[in-house]
Amino acid sequence: MPTMPKLTNLEYYQMIQAVLLVIGLWKLMEKCGEKGYYALIPGYRYYKLGEIAGRERDGIACFVFEIARFLLRVAYPVIPDESSPEFFVALIILAVMLILVIYQIRVISGLCFTFNRRKWWIVVWLFFDWLMFMIWGFFKQFQPVNRGVDDDDNLLAGTKPFHVQYGSQDETADTGLQVQLKERTVNDFGKKRYLLKDIYFTIPVNSLVLLLGGSGSGKTTLVNAVIGYEKANAVIRLNGENVYENYDQMKYKIGFVPQQDLLRQTDTVYNTLHDAAKLRLPVQVSRRKSKERIQEVMDVLGLTAGKSGLVSKKSGGQKKRISIGMELISDPDLFILDEPDSGLDGVIARELFEKLHDIAHQGNVVITITHTPDRVADLFDKVIVLARDSGRVGRLAFYGSPDEARKFFGKDTMEQIVMAVNKKEEGGEGRADEFIAKYAELQAGQLTQAEPQETEITEDEQ
């Protein structure tokens, strides 16, 4: 009859530790409203702890690396020595274990917040994890007071958007820009997060539009969705054409000027626009037509007189006009500019926006983002206001004329409007949810009034 191998003192100690760990975790799980037997499942128990601590994505990472460590140890139960050709396996196992511990520490950090305890408990966990869980599981003074909430506020961003009820948005404009954006989401460690939600508006042609919103409101995300750079769950139509479905053709009808000037300083103004024409114009455009278009753009932007000068010798305002010219070469129907007046003084900024106003009123839609809107507010035809709701999701707080915006928000300036929807900790009024709901109600009311009313036919009329 074979005899059982004797266990060493260290192995006895490790076995007792494992049992105490499971018992302590079992009680802690039950205290937090979870099934106690989750404590028996390696990897998965840290996933559940991550949920309890509001650190779900860290819990998922713990689960993944725990499984990876288990598979590696099964495949290589004996760590090879330095002379073995498989020694790199030991390094991989070590790296996996180190990453696992890092994510476990993040979960324990979240638990400290959940149980309203100081983070020095992490040190206790590092050396005596079983002791920490036994204490937290059995002692009554250890109770989860912040269940599912983590001290890292961004972990919950975009998971629970503020709810508003919109009416039907079945618009069929044949001209201008039509945006019907249901949602723009990302998957973050298996969790769906909203970046934008319920953005509906139609901008007619001949419109210079101001895009307003505080930091994190989703202005850049919206622009990327509209131009097709980062597609959303949306229908974007430009002059009746679906941008997403016909992107290869529509991209030539959309111009985008980023905040940073991307210019070769050693080129002349003319050569810069000439190179842009070769890139932006369709291949079937003749050389003569290309030259004519370059001259038209230079005339519109006031660049003709200095077309032979080097870009590096131009002022900030001139460089910005050159950047605009590079995109304007293709004569886009939709033109979007991110802070075109950045670094420019008031007079030059106004001249620039007057040029943009003229471009817009040649049958185009021009959308601009600027942090100093009031110095040129009279030039805008429409205003879009984005705000971050209580769930930290970018929403539409208003769309209309500048005068309508001032009346809607009860403010005198565009900057005051932004402050009204900004969070209090950012120096704002924290009224984003209020205005998002107010605008949604306004839109729903307008749609109801626009619906045809059924009338009864009397006997006399018959």
Tell me what pLDDT residue 300 has. Answer: 77
Name the amino acid, one letter, at 354: E
Q: Identify the pLDDT of residue 169.
A: 56
Quote the pLDDT of residue 153: 54
CA distance 356 to 283: 27
Q: Are 226 and 418 in contact (CB under 8 A)?
A: no
pLDDT at 453: 46
CATH, range 177-239+333-449:
3.40.50.300
Strand partners, 152: none
Nearest Cα to 292, choosing from 279, 308, 283, 281?
Answer: 281
Predicted confidence at residue 368, as pLDDT, reads: 93
User: Own/partner pairs for 229-234, CB < 8 Å, 24+ apart?
Assistant: 230/184, 232/181, 232/182, 232/183, 232/184, 232/196, 233/181, 233/182, 233/183, 233/184, 233/185, 234/179, 234/180, 234/181, 234/182, 234/184, 234/199
Q: For 404-409, which contacts have Cβ atoms below 8 Å and span 24 or more sequence positions?
A: 408/435, 408/438, 408/439, 408/442, 409/385, 409/435
* Structure-token pair, residue 88: 């790199």
Contact 180, 225 (CB under 8 A): no
pLDDT digits (tens, 9 = 90+) for 130-175: 899 999 999 988 888 876 555 455 556 777 777 777 765 555 668 8
Q: Other C-beta atoms within 10 Å of 377: how many? A: 19
pTM for this predicted structure: 0.67
Spell out the alpha helix ranges (H) of 302-380.
316-328, 346-360
Task: Locate the DSSP E strands across 168-311.
Answer: 177-188, 191-203, 207-212, 233-238, 241-242, 254-257
Residue 155 and residue 191 in contact, taking contact as beta carbons nearer than 8 Å? no
Long-range contacts at 4-12 (CB < 8 A, ≥ 24 apart):
none
Q: In the chain, which residues have pLDDT < 50?
A: 1, 151, 452-462
Q: What is the pLDDT of residue 434?
A: 94
Residue 279: φ, ψ to 5°: -85, -40
Whether 431 contacts 438, CB under 8 Å? no
To which H or E segment does residue 365 belong? strand 365-369
Domain with CATH 3.40.50.300 in the chain: 177-239+333-449
Surface-to-core class of residue 183, CB atoms within 10 Å of its CB (0-12 exposed, 13-18 middle, 19+ buried) = middle
